Structures are given as C-alpha cells and as structure tokens.
Amino acid sequence: KQEVTQIPAALSVPEGENLVLNCSFTDSAIYNLQWFRQDPGKGLTSLLLIQSSQREQTSGRLNASLDKSSGRSTLYIAASQPGDSATYLCAVLSGGYNKLIFGAGTRLAVHP
Amino acid sequence: EPEVTQTPSHQVTQMGQEVILRCVPISNHLYFYWYRQILGQKVEFLVSFYNNEISEKSEIFDDQFSVERPDGSNFTLKIRSTKLEDSAMYFCASSEGDGVEKLFFGSGTQLSVL
C-alpha cells in the first residue's frame, strides 16, 4: 500500500531563505507526483507536476525534483517571501490513473 | 483563469440527514473527483467519475455516498444518513484528461455533522 511522508511537518524561517521540503513514498511505481499549496480555508492549488519519466520541473522560484527509484521528491523554494506561507502537500498518482495519495503536508511560515 | 466552483462553502447538518454537495468543474474538463480532508488528517481520495460513470472509488466510498452529473455543468456528491465522522472538508476536482494530467481543486465545502 502506497504511503507518502513529508518532512518536516512544520517550518518557520525568516524572509529570504532558500528552503527544501521533502516528500518520500514507499512504492516507486508511480505515474506522477504533484506538489500543491493549501491556504487556510482554501482549496488546493497545483504548483508543479512531475511525470514519472521526468527528473524535475521548475516554475518561477519553485523547483521540484523526483528520484523515483529512491522514492523521494524535494520542493525547493528560492528566496522565500511571507506570501509563501501555507501548507505544501505532496501527492503521488499510484495504483490507477485517478487516485492521488497525499502526504500530511509541511506547514511553512515565512516571517518578515 | 478557469476554476472549480463548490457550493456551499459551509454546510451544517444533523446526524442522519442527507446532504448534497455541489461542484461546477472547469468547462472543458472530462474527469471529475471528490476528495475529503478530516481535520488534522491527510487529504483522501473518495471517487473519480468519467463519461457519466464511476471510474474508481475508495473503500471509504460505500453505499452511503453517491455521485451524479445531473446536467452538463454540475457534479454532485450526495451523502445519505450522515454520521458524525462524515464531518470534513470535501474537495471537488477536475482534470482535462485522466489523472496523469494536472488536477484543479475547488475551495471546498466544510461539512459539519452535529
């Protein structure tokens, strides 16, 4: 059974720092991995999607890497800003084309 | 930018009552999903829907739950005889293609069962 784990559970940093959020999954047979952002009381916003054949994806200050064989992904946030404060969720598409399996998230606080 | 719309944003109901959660997916999307998140827990897959039928469902999605696309724009989740443990944030999502495509989520309906 696929399990997704995210470390750390919470992170508080000063503005301007570069950050790394970690995601691991137990079964390497995935179709893709997505990183989402969740703001309090809001829905999930897809940030980056990495297909199983890809190694990384970049969008602005965000870079996500995927090492399928070791069951790991990292989300790198460059030059963090207070507006980056949110919960970041990692999810893998596994065991079918329709079912995302989520991690518990990393709650990020960036203070001025 | 197109978005998935969910109504209501909050729903309070008495245990044993039926509720219908409504969603309007992005117009050119063909695949629709319901997920839920119990407070303090992970987001969990409930069901996926394509071509007017369920394509996959989780073990959570038992006979208490049903989904429907009653017209060309709405996608609904019905929960019959609600239980206290059904209290959660329910998210609707849609995608243009199957799950290998990016999913777009709505802002959720917070269901409270008293």
B108 interaction partners in chain A (CB closer than 8 Å): 41-43
- Cβ-defined contact of B99 to A103 (cutoff 8 Å): no
Q: Does A3 touch chain B (CB under 8 A)?
A: no
Q: Left, alpha or beta for B19 (phi > 0: left; psi -120 to 50: alpha)?
A: beta
B15-48 pLDDT tens trace: 999 999 999 999 989 999 999 999 989 999 999 9
> What is the SS3 assignment for A23-86?
EEECCCCEEEEEEEEECCCCCEEEEEEEECCCCEEEECCEEEEEECCCCEEEEEECCCCHHHCE
> To probe the interface with A, which of B3, B5, B45 has the most A CB atoms within 10 Å?
B45
User: What is the model's pLDDT at position B67?
Assistant: 96
Per the prediction, chain B carries an average pLDDT of 93
List chain A pLDDT tens, one digit each, 112 residues: 899 999 999 999 999 999 999 999 999 999 999 999 999 878 899 999 999 999 999 999 999 999 999 999 999 999 999 999 999 999 999 877 778 999 999 999 999 9
**Which B residues in the span 59-78 are in contact with A, Cβ-Cβ below 8 Å?**
none
Distance CA A95, CA A72 (A): 17
Pairing of strands A72-77, A19-25: antiparallel
- Cβ-defined contact of A99 to B42 (cutoff 8 Å): no
Among B42, B100, B105, select the one facing A93 at the smallest CB separation.
Answer: B100
User: What is the model's pLDDT at position B99?
Assistant: 67
B96 interaction partners in chain A (CB closer than 8 Å): none
Q: Does B34 touch chain A (CB under 8 A)?
A: no
Asked if A66 contacts A76 with a C-beta cutoff of 8 angstroms, the reply is no
- Cβ-defined contact of A98 to B33 (cutoff 8 Å): yes
